[in-house]
């Protein structure tokens, strides 16, 4: 640990683009580097999903109480359900130096960028719309009707891609995970994220200058 705060990372992309798959791999490959925020949602768990792992599954009343208590970093409605990011865990992990990933949709992403200007926004896309449809249907977790509504929502979301910092194409999974890791780690080297170190080196150098 070098005392540096982590980077707040927002990952968005069409439903079925592979965000969950990419995040799972990142956390497995770099468990000490990344922390994944677990959202609260009012939607029903899919088969195999458990409370506290993929999501905190809550009632609409419980969700509204979190909103009232200012316990969410952001929240949004997506295809008739609410989704939100619990604030406490994210802030605590950033403070501990972890890069914290929020896998959220675009309305939430924009709210995060407004509140945290140094957040890094990544947008994940498959190489084509046909591949998106194939992955979304192939996942087999939604009815045909839900698949259609998510594809229709994807078209709307595609209009917002320019709000993001980086586009990540998820064609070959290995390559994609490597690219995401490289983008995030590259961000750490930005001058704007290293003021404290720069000031420290300047102060040290000033000592040399006096001695001349
Ligand atoms: P999202 O979280 O964006 O909704 P998922 O991670 O659930 O998407 O991925 C959707 C489906 O596509 C899953 O069945 C997953 O196994 C598959 N998938 C993810 N990445 C790739 C890839 N690079 N190539 C082929 N299939 C993929
Ligand atoms: P799903 O129902 O497929 O798990 O998620 C639907 C959408 O909600 C995805 O685009 C996902 O990224 C987004 N989402 C998940 N959690 C949150 C959250 O906490 N806030 C916002 N704004 N969107 C979220």
CB-hemisphere CA count at 13 Å for 166?
19
Residues with CB under 6 A from ligand 2: 15, 39, 43, 74-76, 78, 83-85, 103-105, 107-108
Q: What is the pLDDT of residues 163-206, one digit of tens each?
A: 999 999 999 999 999 999 999 999 999 999 999 999 999 999 99
State the pLDDT confidence band at 3, using cuts at 50, 70 and 90.
low
pLDDT at 2: 56
**What's the token pair of residue 86?**
């619990």
What is the C-alpha separation between 87 and 110, in angstroms, rounded?
A: 16
Closest CA to 37 of 98, 99, 85, 94: 85
pLDDT at 44: 95
Q: Whose CA is nearest to atom 23 of ligand 2?
A: 104
State the pLDDT confidence band at 1, using cuts at 50, 70 and 90.
very low
Residue 121 has pLDDT above 90, yes or no: yes
Expressed in angstroms and rounded, the spacing between residue 159 Cα and the centre of ligand 2 is: 18
DSSP category for residue 192: G
Q: Whose CA is nearest to atom 20 of ligand 2?
A: 84
Ligand 2 atom with the smallest distance to the CA of 39 is 19
Expressed in angstroms and rounded, the spacing between residue 129 Cα and the centre of ligand 1 is: 13
Percent of the chain past pLDDT 90, that is, above it, reads: 85
Q: What is the pLDDT of residues 60-106, one digit of tens each?
A: 999 999 999 999 999 999 878 999 999 999 999 999 999 999 999 99
Closest CA to 196 of 23, 60, 3: 3
Q: Whose CA is nearest to atom 21 of ligand 1?
A: 18
* Average pLDDT of the chain, as a whole number: 94
* Contact (Cβ atoms closer than 8 angstroms) between residue 19 and residue 173: no
Expressed in angstroms and rounded, the spacing between residue 128 Cα and the centre of ligand 1 is: 13
Q: Which residues pair with 137 in a beta bridge?
A: none
pTM attached to this predicted model: 0.92
Helices and strands per DSSP (H, E), number in the chain = 8, 9
Which is more confidently placed, 4 or 10?
A: 10
Ligand 2 atom with the smallest distance to the CA of 19 is 12
Expressed in angstroms and rounded, the spacing between residue 103 Cα and the centre of ligand 2 is: 7
**What's the token pair of residue 100?**
């914290």
Q: Whose CA is nearest to atom 12 of ligand 2?
A: 104
């Amino acid at each position: 640990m070098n005392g540096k705060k982590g980077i707040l990372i927002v990952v968005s992309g069409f439903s079925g683009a592979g965000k969950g798959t990419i995040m799972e791999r990142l956390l497995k490959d770099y468990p000490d580097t990344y922390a994944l925020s677990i959202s609260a949602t009012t939607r029903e768990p899919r088969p195999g999903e458990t409370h506290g792992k993929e999501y905190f599954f809550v009632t609409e009343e419980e969700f509204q109480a979190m909103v009232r208590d200012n316990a969410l970093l952001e929240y949004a409605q997506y295809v008739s359900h609410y989704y939100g990011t619990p604030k406490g865990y994210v802030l605590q992990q950033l403070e501990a130096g972890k890069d914290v990933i929020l896998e959220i949709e675009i309305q939430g992403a924009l709210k995060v960028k407004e509140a945290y200007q140094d957040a890094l926004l990544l947008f994940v896309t498959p190489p084509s719309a046909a591949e998106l449809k194939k992955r979304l249907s192939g996942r087999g977790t939604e009815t045909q009707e839900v698949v259609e509504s998510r594809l229709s929502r994807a078209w709307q979301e595609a209009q917002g891609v320019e709000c993001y910092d980086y586009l990540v194409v998820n064609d070959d999974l290995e390559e994609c995970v490597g690219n995401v890791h490289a983008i995030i780690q590259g961000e750490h080297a930005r001058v704007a994220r290293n003021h404290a170190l720069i000031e420290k080196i300047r102060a040290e150098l000033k000592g040399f200058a006096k001695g001349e």
